[in-house]
């Protein structure tokens, strides 16, 4: 397991679900390999998979290297006469991942049947950008890397796959809730509505947001979403976390700005760059202290974003260029007319640190 979350050879608990699915997959592919090698048989021998399990036997040095052993009930090693098919299953899975990594969809089906590819809809679902599960046939072999992209290729290599599931984070309001059917709808900033089950642990939050719909109460929903082959979110399969958002939540407001088109301001006005909005949302999440007051956010005519803080006797603003990631800070004391202007590089943590210090020094700035 490679990536920042696995530093110090630690594995987040959510990945134990992936290891459980790998066990299911290895067993089913082993059965497929047996039937391939014995075309006169219609089914595997009785007891072929009885008591078979994969077990995590250790975590070795590295980012995080889980060691998985094949055992029978009682802890004995798997008998040699059938072990061949489980070894072949392991190799076929690794080779299919390698074909996906090389972007060779036809080669994927040379190693695994279409029905087996559906397991990848549940394996690696928790992977984030920059993370990978590396699987190797031998310790000295070059590993095949299962990433968000290779996982998607594996699932969609099957003609049977019409959609895939993945971890999803959305923000929106709740205009509809059906307590009898235990379902509700999340309306996104672009107006689309995404259906979701009303899972019991989150009912109170859902109903509070539903009752506050006309007041603009928004929620943050983290869960498993089902997306079409083109990437469109169809529905939420399950909710993992859900919370009410601050009315000034930065990421939610930036989502609203994504709907702007060129000419949004009476025929003029450049639409904000989508990649720039992603960067700014992440920057606020990671660099802006949550003890500081949140700003009001507005689009600027030149495609930037303006943040404004109305303090007790001071007006403060930050004009942000989404392309250069630079910004101009300005604050004005309404009683003394004293003002300060500062150019900042927001691609550097020092720029955000300056903002935090300045806001903390202003009356009502939160420090």
Q: Tell me: the pLDDT tens digits for 20-76?
A: 898 899 999 999 999 999 999 988 888 788 777 777 777 776 667 877 777 766 555
Query: What one-character DSSP code corresponds to residue 229?
Result: T
Q: Rounded to 10 degrees, what is the CA torsion of 86, 152, 237, 217?
A: 150
The CB density around residue 182, as the number of other CB atoms within 10 Å, is: 13
- The reported pLDDT for the residue numbered 67 is 79
Annotate 25-35 with b (16+ C-beta within 10 A) or e (fewer): bbbbbbbbbbe
- The reported pLDDT for the residue numbered 284 is 96
- The reported pLDDT for the residue numbered 80 is 58
Rg value, the chain, Cα: 26
Contacts of 297 (CB under 8 A, 6+ apart): 248, 250, 253, 254, 257, 305, 306, 307, 308
d(CA 239, CA 225): 9
- The reported pLDDT for the residue numbered 58 is 77
- The reported pLDDT for the residue numbered 197 is 97
DSSP structure string for 6-52:
GTTT---GGGHHHHHHHHHHHHHHHHHHHHHH-TT-SSPPTTSSTT-
- Summarised one tens digit per residue, pLDDT across range 163-204 is 999 999 999 999 999 999 999 999 999 899 999 999 999 999
Query: What one-character DSSP code corresponds to residue 268?
Result: B
Three-state DSSP at 93 gives helix
- The reported pLDDT for the residue numbered 140 is 79
Question: What does each of the 367 residues of the chain score in pLDDT, given as a tens digit?
Answer: 888 888 777 788 888 888 889 889 999 999 999 999 999 998 888 878 877 777 777 777 666 787 777 776 655 555 556 788 888 999 999 999 999 999 998 899 999 999 999 999 999 998 988 999 998 888 778 899 999 999 999 999 999 898 999 999 999 999 999 999 999 999 999 899 999 999 999 999 999 999 999 999 999 999 999 999 999 999 999 999 999 999 999 999 999 999 999 999 999 999 999 999 999 999 999 999 989 999 999 999 999 999 999 998 899 999 999 999 999 999 999 999 999 999 999 999 999 999 999 999 888 776 4
- The reported pLDDT for the residue numbered 60 is 74
- The reported pLDDT for the residue numbered 151 is 96
d(CA 249, CA 253): 6
- The reported pLDDT for the residue numbered 79 is 56
């Amino acid at each position: 397991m490679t990536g920042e979350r696995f530093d110090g050879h630690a594995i987040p608990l959510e990945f134990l679900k992936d290891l459980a699915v790998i066990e299911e997959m290895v067993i089913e592919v082993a059965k497929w390999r047996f039937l391939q090698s014995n075309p006169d048989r219609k089914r595997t021998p009785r007891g072929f998979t009885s008591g078979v399990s994969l077990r995590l036997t250790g975590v070795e040095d590295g980012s995080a290297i889980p060691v998985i052993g094949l055992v029978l009930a009682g802890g004995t090693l798997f008998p040699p006469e059938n072990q061949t098919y489980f070894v072949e299953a392991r190799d076929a899975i690794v080779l299919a991942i390698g074909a996906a990594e090389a972007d060779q969809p036809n080669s994927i089906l040379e190693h695994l049947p279409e029905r087996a590819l559906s397991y990848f809809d549940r394996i690696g679902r928790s992977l984030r950008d920059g993370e990978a599960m590396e699987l190797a046939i031998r310790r000295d072999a070059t590993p095949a890397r299962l990433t968000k992209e290779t996982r998607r290729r594996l699932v969609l290599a099957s003609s049977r796959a019409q959609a895939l599931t993945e971890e999803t984070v959305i923000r929106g309001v709740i205009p509809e809730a059906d307590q009898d059917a235990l379902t509700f709808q999340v309306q996104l900033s672009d107006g689309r509505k995404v259906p979701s089950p009303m899972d019991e642990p989150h009912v109170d939050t859902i109903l509070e947001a539903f009752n506050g719909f006309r007041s603009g109460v928004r929620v943050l929903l983290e869960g498993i979403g089902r997306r079409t082959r083109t990437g469109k979110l169809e529905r939420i399969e399950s909710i993992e976390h859900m919370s009410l958002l601050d009315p000034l939540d930065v990421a939610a407001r930036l989502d609203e700005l994504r709907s702007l088109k060129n000419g949004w301001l009476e025929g003029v006005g450049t639409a904000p760059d989508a990649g720039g909005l992603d960067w700014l949302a992440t920057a606020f999440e990671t660099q802006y202290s949550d003890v500081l007051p949140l700003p009001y956010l507005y689009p600027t005519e030149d495609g930037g974003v303006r943040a404004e803080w109305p303090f007790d006797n001071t007006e403060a603003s930050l004009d942000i260029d989404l392309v250069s990631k630079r910004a101009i800070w300005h604050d004005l004391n309404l009683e003394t007319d004293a003002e300060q202007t500062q150019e900042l590089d927001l691609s550097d943590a020092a720029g955000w640190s300056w903002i935090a210090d300045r806001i903390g020094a202003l009356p009502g700035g939160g420090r």
